[in-house]
Structure 1
């Protein structure tokens, strides 16, 4: 059997404290996790090979949510203290693993990202419905891990995931995803109000769309007083200048084309 590439590594910090560090860098389970039934067992064997407290050092964009779920469970059940330290990024599945820490530490430059689970599916509508149902259940399981750590309302967590949210270290602490921000020795703590930030990919996209539609005068529900005055004085609507005319086919034209296609099928 081919040797499976591990996505984790162990290192000892100090013989006196018996503390070990579990390093999770890169994609979680990039090669295999459940495929050969050896990888989960190997991880558990190495986890329990020694006792004592452990530090989980994470810098990962995420990966297999099922692998993350099992690692999360193993770390939660581990009898020693588990300290999670997010070095750079704990995104997607890696953020789930981070929730297993008795204490979650972040550096001021670290980020934590949460979003909806995703998959690839092919087939008829039955297969698509099964995929949707599966993703809904997976999301609920992820919300369970976030809620157990943060104590946030499930609706709030779901909203953060829908928006694909990137949390700064201070925002993560504010919302309960992290406990401690690691500072340089002698450095003063920054004011949370000034540095607590949350970036939402969906919010940014919506903001750009809203700005473009406002600039182009195409915002839904926006009335044009000058156009209304023109309609009152003549039966014909005012003709906009050439550069202001919308490009492409109108909705009515597209609906007409669609009706013709339906009638000829």
Structure 2
């Protein structure tokens, strides 16, 4: 699913590249921002249960650096990494019945020192 539609950024699905789920990546967001123009105000529609924390952080930073005003519309849910993305808005609008879920990040490591 394209992330830039009708002049809006539409971030639905998994945050990051995933073999099993449709979603969006920071690279796709950067490409959409370039197409939209850095000085233009931007509406972002967000509906995501989350995904990769660092991918969400990269998207947050890209939206936060956008020179135009950014309005985030949480259409249904902004959970986990998507809640980080939501905080990039100059204005955040929670639609009727929508939810935001914030938690501490988790991760894992493996291998040798």
> For this structure pair, what is the TM-score category when the shorter chain's length is used for normalisation?
0.7 to 0.9
- Give the conservation status (yes or no) of the 8 Å contact 2:45–2:72: yes
**Structure 1 unpaired stretches of 5+:** 1-5, 13-19, 33-38, 128-265
1:97 aligns with 2:74: no
CA-CA distance at 1:123 after TM superposition: 5.4
TM-score normalised over the length of structure 2 = 0.81
Q: Please provide the CA RMSD for this pair.
A: 2.2
Classify 1:24/1:105 alpha carbon distance in 2 versus 1 (closer, same or farther; 3 Å).
same
Task: Give the aligned length.
Answer: 106
Matches of 2:50 and 2:91, distance apart in 1: 20
Rounded Cα–Cα distance in structure 2 between residues aligned with 1:23 and 1:117:
24
1:66 equivalent to 2:54? Answer yes
Residue 22, structure 1, aligned to residue 9, structure 2: yes
Larger Rg: 1
Displacement of 1:50: 2.6
Aligned partners of 2:27 and 2:47: how far apart in 1?
Answer: 23
Bigger helix share: 1
The answer to whether residue 3 in structure 2 is matched with residue 9 in structure 1 is yes
Note the 1:57-136 alignment, pairs <5 A. 57-122=45-110
Q: Larger relative CO (CA 8 A, sep 6+): 1 or 2?
A: 2
SS at the partner of 1:105? strand
TM-score scaled by length of structure 1: 0.37
Q: Does 1:31 align with 2:18?
A: yes
Structure 1 residues 143-193: Cα deviation after superposition (integer angstroms, max 9, x where no partner): xxxxxxxxxxxxxxxxxxxxxxxxxxxxxxxxxxxxxxxxxxxxxxxxxxx
* Structure with more of its chain in strand, by fraction: 2
**Contact 2:8 2:43 (C-alpha < 8 Å) held by counterparts:** yes
1:49 aligns with 2:35: yes
Deviation of the 1:41 alpha carbon = 4.5
SS at match of 2:51: coil
> C-alpha separation between the residues in 2 aligned to 1:115 and 1:50?
31
- Any idea what SS the aligned residue of 1:48 has? helix
